[in-house]
Amino acid sequence: MIMMEKEAHQPVLLNEVVENLLTDLDGFYIDGTFGRGGHTRAILEKLSSKGNLLAYDKDNDAFQAGLKITKQEARFNILHKGFENIYSSDFNNKKLKKPKGILLDLGLSSPQLDTASRGFSFMRNGQLDMRYDQNCDFSAYELINDYPEEKLFSIIREYGEEVNARLIARKIVIERNKKKITSTSQLAALIQQTIRKKNNIHPATKTFQAIRIAVNDELSCIRIFLDKAIDLIDIGGRLAIISFHSLEDRIVKKFVYKHSTVPRVFLKLEKIPKEVEPKLRSVVKLIKPTSSEVLKNPRSRSARLRIVERIR
């Protein structure tokens, strides 16, 4: 059994992931977002002695947590890089076969959100940071204090889907011209001064999401990964992705549709060319957390799990 510190992060849709992802208990699997290892531990407990699991995480704290498991578990390894940098050489040179399943649990982990110094939360005062990869030079501080108003507006509008993006961007520029914006509390306060609270949702929620996505180039990373994963995964292997907001889920949904349907232009042909036949099939309908899970872990309420299988 893997001995670990008490888990601070509750893995979302844990049973649903394990039940639908693991089709071969002797197989090789990938956890593209290790976080604090909640899904990793559950997968390892289920796999046989012949099974293997490789994890990825660009967050240094997460990587260090993963290294503790490698000292206890020979079937497990972790790489200090983001899932978008996945390559077949990561496992081919370890004499591992193509993965039977890959998991992505997108978004923030609770330790990231709850650690004030990481700068992800408007509920905790910390320096503006929001980097998943602490070795990266670009942070929320540079974005907020250096980006022109028009670019700030575009980021907040597109990545936060914030209808008041123009007002917020203008307010940021006005305030930073007086004094640099250095903390999460400063940023949250000026947003509160700019727009009213609606439906018990903090006015800074969407803006903080937008900044985090921009700092880490999250949406591009998802697209890059998906384009690679469809060829890396084994025939019959499954891809499970948990998303937490519409921008992420939209990318995944579009990807699934593209690779699980035949382009309309070919539908009237007597014989559909093999190269345009679907590569994927949906395993189950969209999975959402149960009411009991949301009660135990409110942060799971927006989670959406999509699972597909490679068929060609």
- Residue 159: half-sphere exposure toward Cβ, Cα within 13 Å: 20
Tell me: do 122 and 205 sit in the same domain: yes
- Residue 187: half-sphere exposure toward Cβ, Cα within 13 Å: 30
| Model confidence, pTM | 0.94
Looking at residue 96, what is its pLDDT?
81
Looking at residue 230, what is its pLDDT?
95
Total structural domains in the chain? 2
Looking at residue 5, what is its pLDDT?
46
The residue among 216, 235, 254 that closes a domain is 216
Domain at 158, CATH number: 1.10.150.170
Tell me: do 92 and 165 sit in the same domain: no
Looking at residue 211, what is its pLDDT?
98
Looking at residue 2, what is its pLDDT?
55
Counting as low any pLDDT under 50, the low residues of the chain are: 3-7
**Separation of alpha carbons 107 and 104, rounded Å:** 9
Looking at residue 101, what is its pLDDT?
98
Domain assignment present for residue 161? The answer is yes
Tell me: do 62 and 122 sit in the same domain: no
Looking at residue 107, what is its pLDDT?
81
The residue among 164, 198, 216 that closes a domain is 216
Looking at residue 9, what is its pLDDT?
66
Q: Three-state SS string across the chain, please?
A: CCCCCCCCCCCCCHHHHHHHHCCCCCCEEEECCCCCCHHHHHHHHHCCCCCEEEEECCCHHHHHHHHHHHCCCCCEEEECCCHHHCCCHHHHCCCCCCCCEEEEECCCCHHHHHCHHHCCCCCCCCECCCCCCCCCCCCHHHHHHHCCHHHHHHHHHHHHCCCCHHHHHHHHHHHHHHCCCCEHHHHHHHHHHHCCCECCECCCHHHHHHHHHHHHCHHHHHHHHHHHHHHHCCCCCEEEEEECCHHHHHHHHHHHHHHHCCCHHHCCCCCCCHHHCCCEEECCCCECCCHHHHHHCHHHCCCEEEEEEECC
Q: By C-alpha distance, which of 136, 151, 145 is closest to 215?
A: 136
Domain assignment present for residue 1? The answer is no
Domain that holds residue 148: 116-216
Looking at residue 95, what is its pLDDT?
74
The residue among 216, 238, 269 that closes a domain is 216
Looking at residue 4, what is its pLDDT?
45
